[in-house]
């Protein structure tokens, strides 16, 4: 909304600052951080009052039983602060921002309902129901991107790593590909959300990396220099990502060990949807596999564990996802989380380096 004040620059030069993506990104971060810190304490109190608390799985009761009863559905803190900041600092006439706001509300709203069912009935939606609900925004956005392309001639293309001017043309498989990216990312975040601060910290790292990518992709000079596909308007995605970073840091204040609140599906489903869609809008879906490397490893560990047990009757890890494996090896929870954050930073740096290695 503040961006609409930009025309006033002719009378008050201070409003000229609103044209700069870097300026709005910085203040979007500060705004969402402040809101999440202020809102967090009150939201935690409200969740306790309504008895919206986490139930710990029987499989990890021995190591995580002390977390039983911790307030959940804390993703409301993240999403509320994010959306307020985005509404203040982003250009709301930019359709990419409208897509991101839409998927945030859709996935977040679905997560709220799922968390509520889990708290009140002991169980949420079935797997197939979750997949169908997650597919809906992916299909709609896929259709919109094909009929109203981000750049004419590149409707069904995605960037290919390490090569200049080479793109993967998915053709009729483009929409299924978008569905796979968004659902895959959504469930990867959900799987990783098993230790205090783990998922939100990694998500903040990934969002920061994609803020850089969005700024480069949306800048004709930088994208030309690095031989990256230029997409007009994606600079606003950088502001969205930095707003998310502020929300993530604010939530981490309460979610760090010992966690005072969990994000629940309210947070994890929305965050996954956001990160997946960001990569789609930037046409950097393959890059997400590198920048989000820890999420990939976490998901792969579950797949390998289940496959091995069904085929061989044996487990590869003590427990999956793999962060539980390291915890059962004797690593303190904080050490597991911080080491995974370090790996997340390394993956993000590796991903960003590919922008130059072409």
Q: What is the mean pLDDT of residues 203-207?
A: 98
Q: What is the torsional sign of CA 130, 298, 244, 100? A: negative
pTM of the model: 0.94
What does the mean pLDDT of the chain come to? 92
Q: Where are the beta strands (DSSP E) in the chain?
A: 157-159, 167-169
Residue 8 in any domain: the answer is: no
Residue 316 in any domain: the answer is: no
- Of 1-5, 67-71, 259-263, minimum mean pLDDT range: 1-5
Provide the pLDDT confidence category of residue 216 given band limits of 50, 70 and 90: very high
Q: What is the pLDDT of residues 68-99, one digit of tens each?
A: 789 999 999 999 999 999 999 999 999 999 99
Q: What is the pLDDT of residues 292-314, one digit of tens each?
A: 999 999 999 999 999 999 999 88
Provide the pLDDT confidence category of residue 184 given band limits of 50, 70 and 90: very high
Residue 7's pLDDT is what?
A: 72
Residue 55, classified by CB atoms within 10 Å of its CB into exposed (0-12), middle (13-18) or buried (19+), is: middle
Residue 341 in any domain: the answer is: no
Domains held by the chain: number? 1
Residue 58's pLDDT is what?
A: 55
Query: Residue 106: pLDDT above 60?
Result: yes
Residue 154's pLDDT is what?
A: 83
The dihedrals phi and psi of 302, each to the nearest 5 degrees, come to -65, -45
User: How far apart are the C-alpha atoms of 217 and 215, rounded to whole Å?
Assistant: 6
Residue 24 in any domain: the answer is: yes
Helix (H, G, I), strand (E, B) or coil at 71: strand
Q: What is the pLDDT of residues 228-253, one digit of tens each?
A: 999 999 999 999 999 999 999 999 99
Of 104, 101, 48, 103, whose CA–CA distance to 75 is shortest?
A: 104
Residue 313 in any domain: the answer is: no
Which percentage of the chain shows pLDDT scores above 70? 96
Which percentage of the chain shows pLDDT scores above 90? 77
Provide the pLDDT confidence category of residue 15 given band limits of 50, 70 and 90: confident
Residue 307 in any domain: the answer is: no
Provide the pLDDT confidence category of residue 61 given band limits of 50, 70 and 90: low
Residue 300 in any domain: the answer is: no
- DSSP assignment of 315-335 equals -SSSSSSHHHHHHHTT--HHH
Provide the pLDDT confidence category of residue 63 given band limits of 50, 70 and 90: low
Q: What is the pLDDT of residues 127-159, one digit of tens each?
A: 899 999 999 999 999 999 999 988 888 888 898
Residue 163's pLDDT is what?
A: 76
Segment of 64-73, 151-160, 279-288, 349-358 carrying the highest mean pLDDT: 279-288
Instruction: Report how far apart, in Å, the C-alpha atoms of 177 and of each of 148, 180, 181, 271, 303 are.
Output: 18, 5, 6, 19, 19
- CB under 8 A, 24+ apart: contacts of 47-53: 47/71, 47/72, 47/73, 47/74, 47/261, 51/119, 52/115, 52/116, 52/119, 53/119
Residue 29 belongs to domain spanning: 20-158+168-290
Residue 6 in any domain: the answer is: no
Peptide bond into 321 cis (omega under 30): yes
Residue 249, classified by CB atoms within 10 Å of its CB into exposed (0-12), middle (13-18) or buried (19+), is: middle
């Amino acid at each position: 909304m503040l961006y609409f004040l930009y025309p006033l620059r002719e009378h008050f030069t201070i409003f000229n600052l609103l044209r700069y993506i870097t300026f709005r990104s910085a203040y979007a971060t500060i705004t969402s951080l402040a809101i999440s810190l202020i809102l967090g304490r009150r939201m935690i109190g409200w969740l306790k009052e309504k008895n919206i608390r986490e139930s710990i799985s029987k499989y990890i009761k021995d190591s995580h039983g002390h977390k039983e009863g911790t307030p959940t559905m804390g993703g409301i803190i993240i999403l509320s602060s994010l959306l307020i900041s985005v509404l203040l600092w982003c250009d709301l006439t930019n359709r990419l921002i409208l897509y991101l706001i839409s998927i945030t509300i859709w996935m977040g709203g679905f997560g709220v309902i799922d968390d509520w069912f889990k708290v009140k009935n002991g169980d949420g939606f079935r797997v197939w129901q979750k997949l169908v609900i997650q597919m809906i925004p992916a299909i709609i956005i896929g259709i919109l991107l094909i009929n109203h392309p981000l750049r004419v001639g590149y409707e069904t293309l995605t960037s290919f790593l390490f090569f200049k001017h080479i793109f993967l043309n998915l053709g009729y498989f483009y929409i299924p590909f978008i569905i796979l990216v968004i659902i895959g990312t959504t469930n990867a975040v959900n799987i990783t959300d098993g230790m205090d601060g783990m998922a939100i910290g990694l998500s903040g790292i990934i969002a920061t990396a994609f803020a850089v990518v969005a700024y480069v992709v949306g800048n004709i000079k930088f994208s030309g220099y690095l031989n990256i596909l230029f997409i007009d308007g994606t600079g606003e995605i950088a502001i969205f990502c930095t707003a998310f970073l502020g929300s993530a840091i604010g939530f981490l204040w309460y979610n760090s060990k010992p966690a005072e609140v969990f994000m629940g599906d309210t947070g994890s489903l929305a965050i996954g949807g956001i990160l997946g869609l960001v990569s789609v809008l930037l046409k950097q879906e393959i890059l997400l596999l590198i920048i989000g490397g820890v999420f990939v490893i976490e998901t792969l560990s579950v797949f390998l564990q289940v496959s091995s047990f069904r085929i061989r009757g044996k487990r590869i890890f003590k427990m999956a996802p793999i962060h539980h494996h390291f915890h059962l090896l004797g690593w303190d929870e904080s050490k597991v989380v911080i080491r995974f954050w370090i790996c997340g930073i390394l993956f993000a740096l590796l991903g960003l380096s590919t922008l130059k290695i072409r």
